[in-house]
Amino acid sequence: MGKHRNCRDREPITAVVDILPSPFGWIGLAVSERGVFRVTVGHASRESALRACRSVVVWQRQVPARVAALAERLRRALEAYVCGEMVGFDDIPLDWSPVTPFQQRVYLHCRRVRYGATSTYGEVAVALGKKGAARAVGQALSRNPYALVVPCHRILGSNGDLTGFTAPGGLRLKERLLAFEREVAARNPYRDAH
């Protein structure tokens, strides 16, 4: 639990920080009064995941019940995801304060890429009305503070190559996440999730 100083308006933001183990490394999460502020995946240790989330908040003792409840809801959804459930995170609100308007548009579009499916940086750019802006989309995704919730791992290079994954574990982790989702989706062909 803590406060983050928002880069845009310098207001303190109350947040809950939590971590959980997964087959993909430790996951860290931070939830503010506005929504999910950060999700990070692929850490080799719980301390690393905690450090990644603590870097954006300053601890305090009390948080509103609604923030704690959202953090718990996110934690349960992430636990279900790593246990092989086709979880969609569409109903989890995001705190947009740490991102630019363009990044927000990119992240909103990426949230629509279905579980087990992929898209390309170029396709995302075209969908946003920015044909030729694949590199800008890639840069936005390289700064994605909402790993898994905004599934940037589902976005590939123009020829389907695995490119540009900045989470700990890099492209190897991206490859593992995509293989995991394909396997889960194949076992659940009639279930749909984002």
Average pLDDT, the chain: 87
pLDDT for 3 beyond 70: no
State the pLDDT at residue 8.
Answer: 45
CA gap 178, 186 in Å, rounded: 12
Note if 152 is an active site residue. Answer: yes
**DSSP secondary structure code for residue 182 in this structure:** H
pLDDT per position as a tens digit, 135-179: 999 999 999 999 999 999 999 998 888 887 878 888 899 999 999
pLDDT for 102 beyond 90: yes
Using pLDDT thresholds of 50, 70 and 90, give the confidence band for residue 193: low
pLDDT for 22 beyond 90: yes
State the pLDDT at residue 124.
Answer: 97
State the pLDDT at residue 125.
Answer: 97
| Cα Rg, the chain, nearest whole Å | 16
Phi first, then psi: what are they for 155, rounded to 5°? -105, 125
- Residues 59/49, Cβ–Cβ less than 8 Å: no
State the pLDDT at residue 188.
Answer: 80
Q: The tokens of 146 are what?
A: 């909402």
- Which residue among 7, 53, 110, 152 is the active-site one? 152
Q: How many C-alpha atoms does 179 have within 13 Å on its Cβ side?
A: 9
- Nearest Cα residue to 40 out of 125, 54, 120, 108: 54
pLDDT per position as a tens digit, 61-83: 577 888 889 999 999 999 999 99
How many residues in the chain?
194
The residue assigned the tokens 């889960």 is 184
Q: The tokens of 76 are what?
A: 């349960």
